[in-house]
Amino acid sequence: MAEAHQAVGFQFTVHPDGVDIKLSQEVIKNIYQSGLTAWKKKVILFKNGVLAGVYPASPSSWLIVVIAMLTSLYIRLDPSLGMIDAIKDNLPYRDCMSAQTQAVLSAILFATGLWLSLIYLLRYTLKALLSYHGWIFESHGKMSTTTKMWLSLVKMFSGRRPLLYSFQASLPRLSVPRVDDTIYRYLESVRPLLGSEEYNQMERLASDFKDSIAAQLQRYLVLKSWWATNYVSDWWEEYIYLRCRSPIMVNSNFYIMDLLYVTPTHRQAARTGNIVHAMLQYRRKLERGEHAPLRALGVVPMCSTQMERMFNTTRIPGIETDIVQHLTDRKHLVVYHKGRFFQVWLYTGGRHLLPSELETQFQRILSDTSEPQPGELKLAALTAGNRVPWARARIKYFSQGVNKMSLDAIESASFFLTLDDEPQGYDPAKTNSLDGYAKSLLHGKCCDRWFDKSFTLISYPNGKMGLNVEHSWADAPIVGHMWEYVLATDCFHLGYTEEGHCKGDPNKGLPHPTRLQWQFPQECQNVIEASYILAKQIADDVDFHGYLFMEFGKGLIKKCRTSPDAFIQLALQLAQFRDQGVFCLTYESSMTRMFRDGRTETVRSCTSEAVAFVRAMEDASATKAQKLTLFRKAADKHQNMYRLAMTGSGIDRHLFCLYIVSKYLGVDSPFLKKVLSEPWRLSTSQTPQQQLNIVDINKFPKYVGAGGGFGPVADDGYGVSYIIVGENLITFHISSKFSSPDTDSCRFGQHIQKAMLDIQALFHPENDKIVENGEHVYLVNGKKHL
């Protein structure tokens, strides 16, 4: 036991002459190092807090202003226009100070006030500059004189060497769009999906809404936008995520995969040791705010608020709503392996455990042959089932005794780690290897991931890794940022020995991982089993298909002078129509992080222009020139919709917030109720890559990620996540449900592949589709593709 190991450092013996106390030098050294590390951390946090607090100025600029004021006094100039004299006349205890001391102190106070005023002036100037979004609507490769001047000013006012949170106070707030604009864009988005009678009815509902309660709801929303840092994000987190009472496994959580082609070592404990150590390095920089802020064009800063809750965070179940619990300075993680839970300390002597020390600890767990306690094997299934039974079980069975202590250990852990016992990963020699890998990351066995933790790190016996991420606290790009850093650190900085072990000498003197203890009555075990059965039904219904599109990638698409995202989205519309025979409401996620506390907005990809293009592609009488013209129009429309969403002029978040206000006021809106009940049968998202630019994938083409994915949003629809990898690869992650007779993920993947090739053929006459032996064969740059 860890407690016993620590106790031997302090011993005392009672003699007739008194008490003989012996202290272990090792323990004293560890205590000293821990205290020293804690004070260093406090000093660094204070220093970085000051630097971020006065940004874009610096503490040294205060000294410059003070020296300038004192110099002006020396040469008998008064740039303060009498304010220094006024301060001197009102100084407390001025009778106890000499005239020279009064003058110097008054000058320092005035200089400090002037310096703070200049900081606020710089911040509000930068905020005004960042409120300009004209640059994003300009054609790629073309920049107006206005934008060039704007970029120069932003660079000038952005200061040097910003920290992670330096720009937070300078980010503009998300403004509320005009109701008329939002309704116009909404009606435009549903026009291709509705018949004439249905569309006329929707127009009447929208008109009635504008003429009745819209103005009242909008006033409350504008008031909130003035008061809160973001008028959307808190309600989005609460009502879309935390108030949802259905299982979060599959329905909310998402996953992120490991490197696609490379496995640095096939030793499970060693790979896990390096990854965990890299995560601790990332967390330390995150806590100190030392990561560089993400910036569009290398200039425009993105909001970093979501990153604050990456570690030490758990979603706590409640009867009506969950809460997100975020703690600070957690020093342990909890590991699940073959039905047992272990607590592993991450620090010793005031420092992180080294990779070799972590490898030793994880190998001890892998070698442990003890059996699970009654009810322990499927305990984590409580986090995979409905939220209300889990909340009630938590109150009834986990509020005292060993169960409370063990649950507290899990919920207060830095993160959750699963040492899986079945190998996964992409294997080109195996058919559908990505499918099983995706399902394992998304739901596993339904009882071997703690779905409430901010993320669960999953380690496989063949050295592959992955993440399962709870969605309420952050969006995919936030976790992707951390994952890129971790994988690059693992492969290019930490490395492995020739035998595949972590570098460094293993420390055998570390206290062993501690088993968490549980005592579950039969009634509690029945609740656990019920949650497991429900979760298993959900997991077994998930139809996943992942594949690599290697025929071409971003490089060739850009040569076609179109946006890669627009190209793929139009291919998805063509695939959807070929798969289902109808068009559907389509969701594409866009970020709004150019605004403070921004998260996401919806791009409605199924536009009238996209529908016209798809119909032309299916019309044998349409010429290539006609199809290409319609493609250009549809792509331009999509790009404009995406840019509007990024700049705060989207449709869905505004309507969502108007609906929430209507519920608070107790007024009914048939229009808003209709809008919020529409199903998204095609939900899509692009997974960002190379946010950090740590690894040059042109130099290291094998060190690329496989992206990630999510479960289907609608029972009869598809979920599609895609990642544009380098210049020549696009990976697709497609999900649907086996219970739907109308969907098939593998079939939809084939439709996507054919749609991509058909569209690409429009740009290159030498690339065409022929029929060979009764099968469609695509010629791309002279190469045949089925």
Catalytic residues: 471
Cα angle 748, 754, 757 (rounded to 5 degrees) comes to 145
Cβ atoms within 10 Å of 181's Cβ, excluding its own? 13
What are the backbone angles phi and psi of residue 335, rounded to the nearest 5°? -115, 135
The three-class DSSP label of residue 348 is strand
What are the backbone angles phi and psi of residue 142, rounded to the nearest 5°? -120, 130
The three-class DSSP label of residue 708 is strand
Is the Cβ–Cβ distance between 25 and 90 less than 8 Å?
Answer: no
In sign, the C-alpha dihedral spanning 237, 238, 244, 247 is: positive
What are the backbone angles phi and psi of residue 618, rounded to the nearest 5°? -95, 0
Q: What is the 3-state secondary structure (H, E, C) of 575-592?
A: HHHHHHCCCCCEEEEEEC
What are the backbone angles phi and psi of residue 278, rounded to the nearest 5°? -65, -35
Distance CA 689, CA 669 (A): 41
Cβ atoms within 10 Å of 327's Cβ, excluding its own? 14
Q: Which of 125, 117, 134, 175 is nearest to 155 (CA)?
A: 125
Q: What is the DSSP letter of 496?
A: B
Q: Which of 624, 599, 586 is nearest to 713 (CA)?
A: 586
Distance CA 145, CA 128 (A): 18
Residues 6+ apart with CB under 8 A from 156: none
In sequence order, the β-bridge partners of residue 683 are 587, 719
Q: How many CA atoms lie within 13 A of 332 on its CB side?
A: 20
Is the Cβ–Cβ distance between 680 and 260 less than 8 Å?
Answer: no
